[in-house]
Structure 1
Amino acid sequence: MQNGSFASSNTVTRLTVDVRVLETDEDRLDHLKPRVPHALPDGRIPPEATNPFLLVQAPIVDVPGSGSLPGDRFIAIVDGDEISESATEYVDMKDDYVELHIPKKRVDELADGFHALSYRVYPEGFGRQVLSGATLIDLDRTPALGRLLT
């Protein structure tokens, strides 16, 4: 705790600041961002890219001391919510990414517009969880020629 006094005219004001460090059980690695191979260059996701699921490629963790190992569990996150159906175990140390599948049903529950897509890695056994950086995706189910008149 730090205290300070400030004098102004004949009045003394005391300011007390309580400094705390918040710690979490995970590391955030912003350089690791998921990729959606069927997304358009502007981030839009074509409706056909979600059937039967939206394919997400999650880069393996490549930080010394926190590298991905077989048995680690990867899970997709959309707008801060984990998509439990997407959980996948990392098995092959030859791959640079893990494929996550977000079921069409879960994608259909999302509103049109922009969403933050990330993923979390739960290490097998011990170690800190890792949260990736976010990729912005755009769901746009509007027909190519605009909304249909009814």
Structure 2
Amino acid sequence: MSRSALFLDRDGVINADHGYVFRIADFEPLPGVFAALRLAAARGYALIVITNQSGIGRGYFSQADYDMLEAHMRRLFADEGIAFTGIYHCPHRPDAGCDCRKPRPGMFLRAACEHGIDLGRSVMVGDKPSDAEAARAAGVGTIALVTPDRGLREIVAALPVQD
């Protein structure tokens, strides 16, 4: 049985975007993110993070640095009653030609395959046009970009309950 997902970009949607965020001390959840994700989960959405992390490919930080921050993020959100179904990242530079870097749809397609996600009934929340382009290319049914006037909390509040 397929289910709906709430796909989320990380930097700028879940946490403040301070450039290349890879240190635990620099990871700052945005206001309202915990409540928004608890609501999305209660409404039946699998929570899946889809994030470009080209700082790895550029040599700004290591895969181990990224892994430590991801583990910290999982613990921090678990302490708030939130479990991510999956967290996918592209470590490649923009010129690598991979299929996973947004605006390409690879991370969405992989997540859908691995977790039985119905992309057409799913939602992507991002903060950049490349997030929307990747979601559109993957066939995600609803796409929203956060703005200064409309954050994750407002977007999730408008989502329907899933079966």
TM-score by length of 1: 0.24
Query: When you count helix as a share of all residues, which structure comes out higher?
Result: 2
Query: When you count strand as a share of all residues, which structure comes out higher?
Result: 1
Structure number with bigger Rg: 1
TM-score by length of 2: 0.22
**Taking CA–CA contacts closer than 8 Å with sequence separation of 6 or more, which of the two structures ends up with the larger relative contact order?**
2
